[in-house]
Amino acid sequence: MKTYISLLLFLGLPFSIFAQIASRIHHPNVQTAFIQASDKYLYPNVVLEMGSENAASLQFDDLGLTYPSYYFRLIHCQADWKPSPLADIEYLSDFNDIPLRNPASSLGTKVPYLHYSVPIPSLKVSGNYVAMVYNKRNKQDTVLCVRFSVAEKQVALQTAFSFAKTNALRATHQTIDFKLHIPPQLNYTGDDQLTIQVRQNHQSTNLLKKIPPGQFNVQENSLSFPFFGQENAFPGSNEFRLIDLRSSQQKLSYVDQLITGEKINSVNAQVEMEQGLYPYIQRNDLNGAYVIESYENRENPLQADYVRCTFRLKPYDITEEVYVVGAFNDYNLDSPLQFNPSTGLLESTQIIKQGIYNYQFKSKNPSNTTLEGNYAQTENFYEILIYFQKPGTRYDSLVGYTNFTSH
């Protein structure tokens, strides 16, 4: 342990081995940071297949236009997102701490910005990673951190989705069952080697809280999990709200007002209501994700502008702080909506890039279902991640991964 702490101090990292590294933008000029994989839909906690990480990249914008001296490094983490004890050379084929030069400039936008695209280098081991950008060779001056994972295909998974079985939860919750098929070469000896995460809609905080001890079948080399108390039940929540901000010239879906400005355009979103007061309505959504795109210039993402968007909620019986969340802000509860006496609405104004956005309203009280409702019929996106500490190693490998929707 002393050697591990000394290594982190030598590297100058601003993280403790006892602290999780969260996805977060730390600099006010930096916006829209994400890992771009092959999918055009953007969301946090991207999972890449081992060997395909070269096709992915870290993307972000700098609105400061000062051409800062940014550096990029990757940090390998354990299953709980605390830094692992691995040295750079143990998980990287190339050098760490890469200077970021020659960003691309936005084209014809009212809000000018520099766009950075940083390829993810080849990796030697699977598991969790944090893409970190820092300023002027000073790792304490962290600009941003973005989580992602790299998965192997050693453990196969069988999954089953159903509505909750108890009367109390049947109308509001969804259950996930799964079985692992573990190859003999992994030398599985017990549950203490495993960390299993089941999460909903890419959210690192929306996980199953308790997974019972597994039952190992020697003949099948399989591991099943008997959920007797509905520990595998997720609240169904509701379909995400949507706003289409792709156009600077016309109002698209769920835009109430478009105000043209000299330096930045402003958008007032449609006034929303608390959905938990009404029956479930099926509608298509992106399961919380977003897409960066300009309606007038779809072929060139550098022509996507920034807009000032005001999200608006008509309060009915709200007694606690409310936040607007989605993949676009990694579901962070940072700035609550404020009451605007001139409109009688709760409002939150944010600078975001042109595109299509899913979002929800959320409070810090998990039992508050009035804002969005809670319905078993909701389509949700689920992922199961299997971490394994191989005998003789000091880190968590991600040896199995699958995803599916609830319908």
pLDDT in tens, 171-228: 999 999 999 999 999 999 888 899 999 999 999 999 998 899 999 999 999 999 999 8
Give the range among 239-248, 315-324, 380-389 with minimum mean pLDDT. Answer: 315-324
Phi, psi (deg, nearest 5) at residue 269: -70, 160
At 7, is the pLDDT very low, low, confident or very high (cuts 50, 70, 90)? very low
Average pLDDT of span 119-134: 97
pLDDT at 156: 97
Report the chain's mean pLDDT, rounded to a whole number: 92
Spatial distance between the Cα atoms of 135 and 143, rounded to a whole number of angstroms: 7
The structure tokens 């906690």 sit at 45
Contact 88, 96 (CB under 8 A): yes
The larger pLDDT score, comparing residue 12 to residue 159, is at 159
Contact 130, 403 (CB under 8 A): no
Average pLDDT of span 224-237: 92
Of the chain, the percentage scoring pLDDT greater than 90 comes to 81
- Length of the chain equals 407
Spatial distance between the Cα atoms of 399 and 40, rounded to a whole number of angstroms: 26
SS (H, E, C) the chain: CHHHHHHHHHHCCCCCCCCCCCCEECCCCEEEEEEECCCCCECCCEEEECCCHHHCEEEEEECCCCCCCEEEEEEEECCCCCECCCCHHHHECCCCCEECCCCEECCCCCCCCEEEEEECCCECCCEEEEEEEEECCEEEEEEEEEEEEEECCCCEEEEEEEECCCCCCCCCEEEEEEEEECCHHHCCCCHHHEEEEEEECCCCCCECCCCCCCEEECCCCEEECCCCCCCCEEECCCCCEEEECCCCCCCCCCEEEEECCCCCEEEEECCECCHHHCCCCCCCCCCCCEEECCCCCCCCHHHCCEEEEEEEECCCCCCCCCEEECHHHCCCCCCCCEEECCCCEEEEEEEEECEEEEEEEECCCCCCCCCCCCCCCCCCEEEEEEEECCCCCCCCEEEEEEEEECC
pLDDT at 109: 96
pLDDT at 229: 79
Spatial distance between the Cα atoms of 108 and 112, rounded to a whole number of angstroms: 8
Average pLDDT of span 373-400: 95
pLDDT at 20: 93
Spatial distance between the Cα atoms of 60 and 11, rounded to a whole number of angstroms: 24
Spatial distance between the Cα atoms of 102 and 73, rounded to a whole number of angstroms: 17
pLDDT at 13: 60
Q: How far is CA 299 from CA 54, 162, 247, 313, 365, in A?
A: 23, 41, 14, 34, 42
pTM above the 0.75 mark?
yes
The larger pLDDT score, comparing residue 94 to residue 112, is at 112
Q: Give Cα 116 to chain centroid, integer Å.
A: 19
Of the chain, the percentage scoring pLDDT greater than 70 comes to 96
Asked if pLDDT for residue 285 goes beyond 70, the answer is yes
Spatial distance between the Cα atoms of 137 and 116, rounded to a whole number of angstroms: 17
Asked if pLDDT for residue 6 goes beyond 80, the answer is no
pLDDT at 106: 96
pLDDT at 331: 95
pLDDT at 12: 57
At 236, is the pLDDT very low, low, confident or very high (cuts 50, 70, 90)? very high
Query: Exposed, middle or buried by CB within 10 Å (0-12, 13-18, 19+), for 295?
Result: middle
Contact 311, 347 (CB under 8 A): yes
pLDDT at 14: 58
Average pLDDT of span 314-329: 91
Q: How many other CB atoms sit within 10 Å of the CB of residue 285?
A: 17
330 — alpha (psi -120 to 50), left (phi > 0) or beta?
left
At 39, is the pLDDT very low, low, confident or very high (cuts 50, 70, 90)? confident
Fold for 2-151, please state it: Immunoglobulin-like (2.60.40)
Q: How many other CB atoms sit within 10 Å of the CB of residue 369?
A: 18
Spatial distance between the Cα atoms of 21 and 146, rounded to a whole number of angstroms: 9
Fold for 156-236+378-405, please state it: Immunoglobulin-like (2.60.40)
At 374, is the pLDDT very low, low, confident or very high (cuts 50, 70, 90)? very high
pLDDT at 5: 41
Q: Give the chain's end-to-end CA distance (angstroms, integer).
A: 46
Average pLDDT of span 358-362: 97
Residue 180 makes CB contacts below 8 A (sequence gap 6+) with 155, 156, 157, 214, 222, 223, 224, 386, 400
Asked if pLDDT for residue 8 goes beyond 60, the answer is no
Q: How far is CA 363 from CA 62, 91, 281, 323, 337, in A?
A: 30, 39, 22, 6, 10
pLDDT at 9: 41
Which residues of the chain are in CATH 2.60.40 domains?
Answer: 2-151, 156-236+378-405
pLDDT at 367: 79
At 42, is the pLDDT very low, low, confident or very high (cuts 50, 70, 90)? very high
Asked if pLDDT for residue 112 goes beyond 50, the answer is yes
Average pLDDT of span 223-235: 91
